[in-house]
Amino acid sequence: MTQSSRKPPVSRVQYAALPFRRRRSAGTEIMLVTSRTTGRWIIPKGWPMKRKTPYAAAAREALEEAGVVGHIDKQPIGSFSHKKILKQGEEVVSEVQVFPLEVRHQRKTWPDKGKREVQWFSPAEAAKTVTEPVLGKIIRSLQKRS
Protein backbone atom coordinates (compact mmCIF):
# COMPACT_ATOMS: atom_id res chain seq x y z
CA MET A 1 0.00 0.00 0.00
CA THR A 2 1.44 3.37 -0.99
CA GLN A 3 0.99 6.45 1.08
CA SER A 4 0.36 9.82 -0.48
CA SER A 5 2.57 12.66 0.64
CA ARG A 6 -0.33 15.02 0.02
CA LYS A 7 -2.30 15.91 3.15
CA PRO A 8 -6.05 15.30 3.13
CA PRO A 9 -8.09 18.51 2.80
CA VAL A 10 -8.93 20.29 6.01
CA SER A 11 -12.64 20.58 6.76
CA ARG A 12 -14.15 23.93 7.79
CA VAL A 13 -17.51 25.65 7.84
CA GLN A 14 -18.73 28.70 5.94
CA TYR A 15 -22.02 30.58 6.10
CA ALA A 16 -23.90 31.72 3.01
CA ALA A 17 -26.93 33.84 2.24
CA LEU A 18 -29.32 32.85 -0.52
CA PRO A 19 -30.75 36.25 -1.52
CA PHE A 20 -34.23 36.15 -3.03
CA ARG A 21 -37.13 38.47 -3.73
CA ARG A 22 -40.74 37.99 -4.69
CA ARG A 23 -42.12 39.88 -7.69
CA ARG A 24 -45.78 39.94 -8.65
CA SER A 25 -44.96 39.65 -12.34
CA ALA A 26 -41.90 37.37 -12.23
CA GLY A 27 -42.50 35.37 -9.05
CA THR A 28 -39.48 34.46 -6.93
CA GLU A 29 -36.06 35.62 -8.15
CA ILE A 30 -32.65 34.53 -6.86
CA MET A 31 -29.60 36.81 -6.70
CA LEU A 32 -26.22 35.36 -7.61
CA VAL A 33 -22.83 37.06 -7.51
CA THR A 34 -19.61 36.18 -9.29
CA SER A 35 -16.56 34.87 -7.51
CA ARG A 36 -13.71 37.39 -7.45
CA THR A 37 -11.13 34.81 -8.53
CA THR A 38 -12.87 32.58 -11.09
CA GLY A 39 -15.93 34.58 -12.15
CA ARG A 40 -18.23 31.62 -11.39
CA TRP A 41 -21.78 32.39 -10.30
CA ILE A 42 -22.13 31.74 -6.55
CA ILE A 43 -24.07 32.94 -3.54
CA PRO A 44 -22.49 35.30 -0.97
CA LYS A 45 -20.56 33.28 1.61
CA GLY A 46 -17.75 33.57 4.09
CA TRP A 47 -16.06 32.31 7.22
CA PRO A 48 -17.51 32.50 10.74
CA MET A 49 -17.20 35.91 12.40
CA LYS A 50 -16.42 36.56 16.05
CA ARG A 51 -19.47 37.54 18.10
CA LYS A 52 -21.85 36.91 15.15
CA THR A 53 -24.33 34.08 14.87
CA PRO A 54 -24.09 31.96 11.70
CA TYR A 55 -27.13 33.66 10.14
CA ALA A 56 -25.80 37.14 11.01
CA ALA A 57 -22.45 36.26 9.40
CA ALA A 58 -24.31 35.13 6.26
CA ALA A 59 -26.31 38.38 6.17
CA ARG A 60 -23.06 40.36 6.55
CA GLU A 61 -21.53 38.52 3.58
CA ALA A 62 -24.60 39.37 1.47
CA LEU A 63 -24.19 43.03 2.38
CA GLU A 64 -20.44 43.07 1.63
CA GLU A 65 -20.59 41.05 -1.60
CA ALA A 66 -23.92 42.18 -3.10
CA GLY A 67 -25.06 45.22 -1.12
CA VAL A 68 -28.35 43.56 -0.16
CA VAL A 69 -30.22 43.94 3.12
CA GLY A 70 -33.33 42.10 4.26
CA HIS A 71 -34.77 39.43 6.53
CA ILE A 72 -32.58 36.35 7.00
CA ASP A 73 -33.86 33.06 8.42
CA LYS A 74 -32.18 31.90 11.63
CA GLN A 75 -32.11 28.27 10.44
CA PRO A 76 -30.24 27.05 7.34
CA ILE A 77 -32.29 25.42 4.57
CA GLY A 78 -29.43 23.15 3.55
CA SER A 79 -25.70 22.84 3.11
CA PHE A 80 -23.23 21.84 0.42
CA SER A 81 -19.53 21.02 0.24
CA HIS A 82 -17.17 23.43 -1.45
CA LYS A 83 -13.42 23.11 -2.18
CA LYS A 84 -11.49 26.29 -1.60
CA ILE A 85 -7.83 27.06 -2.19
CA LEU A 86 -6.48 29.36 0.52
CA LYS A 87 -3.87 32.07 -0.12
CA GLN A 88 -1.08 29.74 1.05
CA GLY A 89 -2.16 27.15 -1.55
CA GLU A 90 -3.74 24.85 1.03
CA GLU A 91 -6.95 23.17 -0.11
CA VAL A 92 -9.82 23.09 2.34
CA VAL A 93 -13.22 21.51 2.02
CA SER A 94 -15.85 23.62 3.67
CA GLU A 95 -19.41 22.76 4.53
CA VAL A 96 -21.42 25.80 3.46
CA GLN A 97 -24.59 26.32 5.50
CA VAL A 98 -27.18 28.25 3.46
CA PHE A 99 -29.57 30.77 5.05
CA PRO A 100 -32.40 32.28 2.95
CA LEU A 101 -32.34 36.09 2.84
CA GLU A 102 -35.48 37.89 1.65
CA VAL A 103 -34.05 41.06 0.13
CA ARG A 104 -35.75 44.33 1.10
CA HIS A 105 -33.35 46.64 -0.77
CA GLN A 106 -29.89 46.98 -2.30
CA ARG A 107 -27.61 49.79 -1.19
CA LYS A 108 -26.06 52.18 -3.69
CA THR A 109 -22.54 51.27 -2.57
CA TRP A 110 -21.00 48.25 -0.82
CA PRO A 111 -17.46 46.90 -0.26
CA ASP A 112 -17.31 44.53 -3.28
CA LYS A 113 -19.19 46.77 -5.74
CA GLY A 114 -17.23 46.76 -8.98
CA LYS A 115 -15.31 43.62 -7.95
CA ARG A 116 -18.17 41.21 -8.66
CA GLU A 117 -21.14 41.03 -10.97
CA VAL A 118 -24.56 40.81 -9.33
CA GLN A 119 -27.60 39.49 -11.19
CA TRP A 120 -31.15 38.28 -10.54
CA PHE A 121 -32.23 34.92 -12.00
CA SER A 122 -35.35 32.81 -12.01
CA PRO A 123 -34.93 29.90 -9.56
CA ALA A 124 -34.65 27.40 -12.44
CA GLU A 125 -32.00 29.49 -14.19
CA ALA A 126 -30.07 30.11 -10.94
CA ALA A 127 -30.10 26.37 -10.15
CA LYS A 128 -28.64 25.62 -13.60
CA THR A 129 -26.10 28.46 -13.41
CA VAL A 130 -24.34 27.47 -10.17
CA THR A 131 -21.72 24.71 -10.47
CA GLU A 132 -22.48 22.91 -7.19
CA PRO A 133 -25.35 20.44 -7.83
CA VAL A 134 -26.44 20.41 -4.18
CA LEU A 135 -26.67 24.22 -4.19
CA GLY A 136 -28.91 23.92 -7.25
CA LYS A 137 -31.19 21.60 -5.25
CA ILE A 138 -31.24 24.09 -2.35
CA ILE A 139 -32.25 26.87 -4.76
CA ARG A 140 -35.06 24.72 -6.17
CA SER A 141 -36.22 23.88 -2.63
CA LEU A 142 -36.46 27.60 -1.82
CA GLN A 143 -38.73 28.09 -4.82
CA LYS A 144 -41.05 25.38 -3.47
CA ARG A 145 -41.17 27.08 -0.04
CA SER A 146 -42.15 30.48 -1.44
DSSP result, 32-92 = EEE-TTT--EE--EE---TT--HHHHHHHHHHHHH-EEEEE-SS-SEEEEEEEE-TTS-EE
- Give the residue extent of every domain in the chain: 10-145
- pTM score: 0.88
In tens, the pLDDT along 15-67 reads 999 999 998 887 899 999 999 888 999 999 999 999 999 999 999 999 999 99
Considering the domain 10-145, what is its CATH architecture? Alpha-Beta Complex (3.90)
